[in-house]
Structure 1
Amino acid sequence: MICANASNILRRKSMHWVTIILIGIAANLDNLGIGLAYGIKRVKIPVLSNAAIAVISMIVTYVAVTAGSTIDEFISPHTANLLGSLLLVTIGLWTLVSNRFSQQGIAEKPELFDEDKNYIISFRESMTLGFVLSANCLAGGIAIGANGISVIWTVISIGIFSFITVGVGSHFGSLLTKTFIGKYSAAISGLLLLIIGILEMFS
C-alpha cells in the first residue's frame, strides 16, 4: 500500500514537470509569432528589452498562479485539479477555434510598439509590449494554480521560454516564418494546452 502511494506520488510529480515545461512552451508560442513579425520587419528587440518582456510575463504568471492556488482553500484538491484541467482544455479549444491568443493585431503591425520608429524596441517600449504579450498567461496561470503545480517553477518556465521564443523569432524572422511552427504557432499553442489539460485531468 505504501509502495503504491509512493509510486502514485512520483508519477504525479513527473507529470507536473512535463506540464511545467509544456505550459512554458504553449504560453509563449504566440511570442514566437510576434518575434517573427518583428524579425521580418527588421525591428530589433535588444537583450534587455527581451528580458523585460520575460520578467513581465513571469510577474503576470505569478499573480495568476497564486490566484489559482487559493482555490484549494475553498474546495477539495481533487475538485480544484478537475476545474483547473477543464479550464486548460477550454483555453486550448478556444485558442484553436477563435485564434484569440494569436495577437494578430501585433503580428500584422508590429511597428505599433516602436513609438519612435527607429526599428528598435527600447526598454520603455518593451514594457507595454510585455504586458500585452503576457495576457495569455493569465487564464493559463490560474488553471495551473488550481492544479496545485509549483508556482515558482511555472513562473521560471514561462520566463525562460518567453526569452527564447521572442529572441529566436526576432533574430530569425524571415527564415522561421515559413516553417510549420511559424505558420501555425497559435494552433500548436492551443493543441498543447488541450493536451496538458487532458493529461492533468487523468494524472
Structure 2
Amino acid sequence: MAPWFIIVVLTISSSIDNLGVGLSYGIRKIRISIYSNFLIAVICFLFSVTGIYFGLWIATVLPGILPMILGAIILGIIGIRIILLTKPTKEKEEIAKLPTNTKTSYIGWGESIMLGIALSANALTNGVGAGLLGFSPFLISLLAAIGSFVTVWAGVEFGVKLINIRIGKYTIGEFGTVISGVLLLIVAVLVFF
C-alpha cells in the first residue's frame, strides 16, 4: 500500500475526533478562539512527535518485521477501542435532550490546554503506530496539528448549525468518532499489503 495513503488516513483518523469535539462545543454555542485552537494544535504536534519517536525507538529494539506487526496491532486495538467507546448509553441520550446554551461564549486558556491534551491522546497513540511503521516524525506531526486546527474550527462552525441532528442512535460527533476507529482498523489491515 502507498505510504502517502496511510499518512492521509492516519491524519484523518487523528483529527476526526477533534471534529466531533468541535461539534459538541458548537452545539452548545461555545466558541474556540483562533489562539486557543492554535494552542490545541501545538499540543497535538508535541504529542504526535513524542509518540512517533517512541515508536521509532521501539522499532530499533525489535527485530525484522515485528515493528510493522506491532504497529498494525496497536492501531487495530485503538480503532476497536474507539468504536466501542462511542456506543450510545442512556446517560448520553439524556444529555443530548438537554436544552442548549443560548449565549455564545469562548473557552479559556486553561480549558484549551486540557482540551489539547485530551484530544492529543489519539495523536500520541497513532504516533507510536506510525513510528513503528517508520514514517517521518515531522511530517506526520505537522499534518496531525494542521488536521487538529482545521477540524476543531470546522466542528465548532458546523456544530452551531447542526444542533440536535442524529444519525441513528449516534450524535454527529459520536458518528465521527466511529469513523475514526474504522479508519484506524483500515490502516492496521493495509499495512500488510
Q: Does 1:196 align with 2:187?
A: yes
Counterpart position of 1:28: 15
Q: Provide Cα deviations, 1:111-159, integer angstroms capped at 9, x if missing partner.
A: xxxxxx9821133431121111112222221111111111111101110
TM-score of the two chains, using structure 1 as the length reference = 0.78
Trace 1:1-203 onto structure 2 (pairs within 5 A): 15-99=2-86, 119-176=105-162, 178=165, 182-202=173-193
SS of the residue corresponding to residue 31 of structure 2 reads coil
% identity of equivalent residues: 34
Query: Which runs of no fewer than 5 residues in structure 1 stay unpaired?
Result: 1-11, 110-116
Contact between 1:169 and 1:176, CA under 8 Å: does it hold in 2?
Answer: no
Distance 2:158 2:104 in 1: 19
TM-score of the two chains, using structure 2 as the length reference = 0.82
SS of the residue corresponding to residue 27 of structure 1 reads helix
Q: CA 1:71–1:197 in structure 2 vs 1: closer, same or farther (change >3 Å)? A: same
Counterpart position of 2:100: none
Distance 2:22 2:145 in 1: 15
SS of the residue corresponding to residue 201 of structure 1 reads coil
Shift of 1:60: 0.6
RMSD: 2.5
SS of the residue corresponding to residue 105 of structure 2 reads coil
Q: How many residues were matched structurally?
A: 177
Contact between 1:91 and 1:190, CA under 8 Å: does it hold in 2?
Answer: yes
Distance 2:138 2:83 in 1: 28
Contact between 2:17 and 2:180, CA under 8 Å: does it hold in 1?
Answer: yes
More helix by share: 1
More strand by share: 2
